[in-house]
Amino acid sequence: MPSNEQPFIPLSVPHLAGREWEYVKDCLDTGWVSSVGSYVTKFEEEFAKVVQTRHAVACSNGTTALQIALQCCGVQAGDQVLVSDLTFIASANSISHLGATPIFIDAEPKYWQMDPAEVANYLGNECTFTNGETFHKASGQRVKAIMPVHILGNPVDLNPILELAQEYNLAVVEDATESLGASYHNHSVGSIGDMAAFSFNGNKLITTGGGGMITTNSPDLAKRAKHLTTTAKIDPVEFIHDEIGYNYRLVNLLAAIGVAQLEQLPDFLAKKVEIANWYRELLGDNQDLHLMPEPDYGKSAHWLYTIKFQNRSWRPIQKHLETQQIQSRPLWQCMHQSQAYQHLSPSINPISAHLQAECLSLPCSISLTKEDATRVAEQIKVALKTS
């Protein structure tokens, strides 16, 4: 078959094979389609059980979930928040939306996550701890929080970050948007920091089309998150609001999809392990690339299966795969190189830049077959020989 007639293999598409239709129909039949309803409550309760937190608060998307979590943890305009440099821009934007400044922390080379040693360097060398608060010496800005981003399904090494947060009196807001199902020393990602955020965007492990969730073990923080995401209304009848809140609610219709997706999470996670094993079997002995590493301190959710080429750019490989009807995707432009953040004082994060230059994410939808994975692996080998 000519290559252009081969079936298209997408990167990561939703898998809606459970009770989504039934639950959505229930919303439509009963008229409970909008911002309150039993599916919102059920989704929050079931999600909290999965992530092993006391509370979960549904949100309109992952970006708003991050913003609200930061705000609940006391981040204010003018503060600094330390965040992974190698991440999707929404992590940094959630900080900027509050008028705070993101400080971009380099990745560590082994597992590609926020480097705790770089967090220690920044706090130790560039900041001072005075009267129980941390201040950036050069700008005078208060440093208020750390946002480790668990990228690609892998957990960040959190213990050293939690120790630093305690030493410098900083909040920890986990960006767990990409890593539902991952764990760190047997604790679910999203249950370890003060608060965490998840995303149910279309390419995430479970999807509601668009949506998010805030998790926390603190009843006070959960209450405040609910308050802020639901317009800060304080009276059940009258329209009385005690501060400027947001309409960041997840609607019942989407929560219904979330409940159905969550029911399939164990199967999805098992399939992701299977896909990772296929790629290991098919590409593991290739000297020209490294497979996505699973940290020795935790369990990966293998959300977006990614490989790193050995001293080669991902660009010609991605181009070749495209000609073969195979979708692949580079990592995000590093935040310190983004035009959106050029106004900040320049930081140099060589590991993040190096990973961005050489990594490529491969097809890993729940519906991927071994035959698909074999075709992907074969075409990567062809591209490595010819490019």
Ligand X SMILES: Cc1ncc(COP(=O)(O)O)c(C=O)c1O
Residues forming the site for ligand X (CB under 6 A): 61-63, 87-88, 90-91, 149, 175, 177-178, 199, 201, 212
The DSSP element (H or E) to which 187 belongs, if any, is strand 187-188
Extract the tokens encoding 290.
């490294």
CA distance 33 to 80: 39
CA distance 298 to 179: 12
Of the pair 181, 212, the CB lying nearest ligand X is at 212
Residue identified by tokens 């953040």 is 341
As measured in angstroms, the least distance from the Cβ of 58 to ligand X is 12
The DSSP element (H or E) to which 196 belongs, if any, is strand 195-199
Of the pair 115, 175, the CB lying nearest ligand X is at 175
Handedness of CA 77, 78, 79, 80 (dihedral sign): positive
φ, ψ at 63 (rounded to 5°)? -65, -45
Using Cβ positions, the residue closest to ligand X within the complex turns out to be 62
As measured in angstroms, the least distance from the Cβ of 335 to ligand X is 11
CA proximity to 378, closest of 362, 357, 356, 358: 362
Of the pair 153, 379, the CB lying nearest ligand X is at 153
CA proximity to 341, closest of 69, 89, 81: 89
As measured in angstroms, the least distance from the Cβ of 364 to ligand X is 15
CA distance 70 to 185: 25
As measured in angstroms, the least distance from the Cβ of 360 to ligand X is 16
As measured in angstroms, the least distance from the Cβ of 319 to ligand X is 24
Q: What is the DSSP letter of 335?
A: G
Question: Cα 143 to chain center, whole Å?
Answer: 22
As measured in angstroms, the least distance from the Cβ of 163 to ligand X is 23
As measured in angstroms, the least distance from the Cβ of 211 to ligand X is 7
CA distance 334 to 355: 9
Query: 151: burial class by Cβ within 10 Å (0-12, 13-18, 19+)?
Result: buried
Of the pair 212, 298, the CB lying nearest ligand X is at 212
Extract the tokens encoding 38.
């039993």
Of the pair 134, 154, the CB lying nearest ligand X is at 154
SS3 call for 286: coil
Of the pair 155, 212, the CB lying nearest ligand X is at 212
Of the pair 65, 260, the CB lying nearest ligand X is at 65
Extract the tokens encoding 361.
């994410």
Of the pair 43, 88, the CB lying nearest ligand X is at 88
As measured in angstroms, the least distance from the Cβ of 74 to ligand X is 20
